[in-house]
Structure 1
Amino acid sequence: MAILPIRIMGDPVLHSPAAVVDEITDEVRTLVADMFETMDAAPGVGLAAPQVGVPLRIYVYTYQDDDGAPWRGVVINPVLWMTPPAPGSPDPDEESEGCLSFPGERFPLRRSDEVLVTGIDLDGAPVRIEVDGWRARIMQHEFDHLDGILYIDRLDDADWKTTQKIARKRGWGRPGQSWTPGVDDIDA
């Protein structure tokens, strides 16, 4: 297993739809193992294959509730259904999220509170995930990556402008920018 460099906003792989996985090969299994290791090292609660430069419809996730119960897995070729988000402005304390591809920042974003995700796992077995709350947010965030959407693309105008200023200041927003957990000094 290896910790992979995480692409930063502006890299073309992050802004293009990812391809369907046609076959689960040893290369796909290795990629998923590396994605788990990278996500854990970052640390993050999710990581999509495009974030590590691979334009495939795969993401991994992990989350631990207050009761300590772990929730961890991989979804290949996911399909997402969700209830419409509640109207109104997001609560900055309860609805802020960050992204390993825009490291070190968090912004409020309204998401659906309930989702259903289907797909397959590394054995080709069907996956069905019905979740709400923070877990639903993770599923939506990672699914967006597979469609070439970063969460900052969904922010209101004022926050989006702030992200663009941050990106210019840090030299982001162009191809080839990445950081490696445990190597680069970025507070994700």
Structure 2
Amino acid sequence: MTVHDLVYAGNSILKNPSSEIVNFNSSELKMLVEDLIVTMRENHGAGLAAPQIGIDLRVMVFEIKNNPRYPDVEEVDLTVLVNPSYEIISEVLTEEYEGCLSLPKMRGLARRYDHILYSAYDVNGNHFEKEAKGWHARVFQHEYDHLDGILYPERMHNMKEFSYLES
């Protein structure tokens, strides 16, 4: 397992859609997932997508447990998603402040769907679905956007709500 350097806003890999995984159950895919998990945890992230470590593949992970960056949000178990997609269950949009490991020390008020159904494959190629609401749905959509070359400021309604955090 390797903790990777993060890729920051401005890097071209964060601006373009990522490539789908075609070979499941490979040692390379399993190693990528392990690297994403340790890199996310080392940086206190709520999630991480492969493009954020410079890898052009549709793989993402998320987990929220005892996270100092998000101390007051609901917990979400470790989730690994390969080639994810989602459907909107409710058209209700909510605004919450988000941060991103690829935009360090920044926060912005981003709009997201509050209730979704996501589907993906695990590393072995098994398909699964999960319904998500609230923060869980937000984290999924944030990481999913990375796979499509979108950063959270593009989901902001008012750029006056984009700010720098001193720490």
Bucket of the pairwise TM-score, normalised by the shorter protein: 0.7 to 0.9
How far did 1:156 drift? Answer: 2.8
- Cα distance between partner residues in 1 of 2:51 and 2:160: 24
How far did 1:103 drift? Answer: 1.0
Aligned with 1:10: secondary structure?
coil
Structure 2 counterpart of 1:72: 78
Whose Rg is larger? Answer: 1
Structure 1 counterpart of 2:69: none
Higher strand share: 2
How far did 1:86 drift? Answer: 3.3
Structure 2 counterpart of 1:19: 19
CA-atom RMSD in angstroms: 2.4
CA 1:57 to 1:68, structure 2 compared with 1: closer, same or farther past 3 Å?
closer
- Cα distance between partner residues in 1 of 2:140 and 2:106: 19
Structure 1 unmatched runs, 5+ = 167-185
Answering whether residue 120 of structure 2 is matched by residue 113 of structure 1, we say: no
TM value normalised by structure 1: 0.77
User: Which structure's relative contact order is higher, taking Cα pairs within 8 Å and 6+ residues apart?
Assistant: 1
Structure 2 counterpart of 1:146: 147
- Cα distance between partner residues in 2 of 1:31 and 1:159: 37
Structure 2 unmatched runs, 5+ = 67-71
Structure 1 counterpart of 2:36: 35
Cα deviation, 1:25-47, whole Å, max 9, x if unaligned, reads: 21111011000000000011100
CA 1:109 to 1:69, structure 2 compared with 1: closer, same or farther past 3 Å?
closer
Aligned with 1:86: secondary structure?
strand
How far did 1:63 drift? Answer: 1.7
The percentage of aligned residue pairs carrying the same residue is 35
Cα deviation, 1:162-182, whole Å, max 9, x if unaligned, reads: 57xx7xxxxxxxxxxxxxxxx
Aligned residues: 159
Aligned with 1:79: secondary structure?
strand
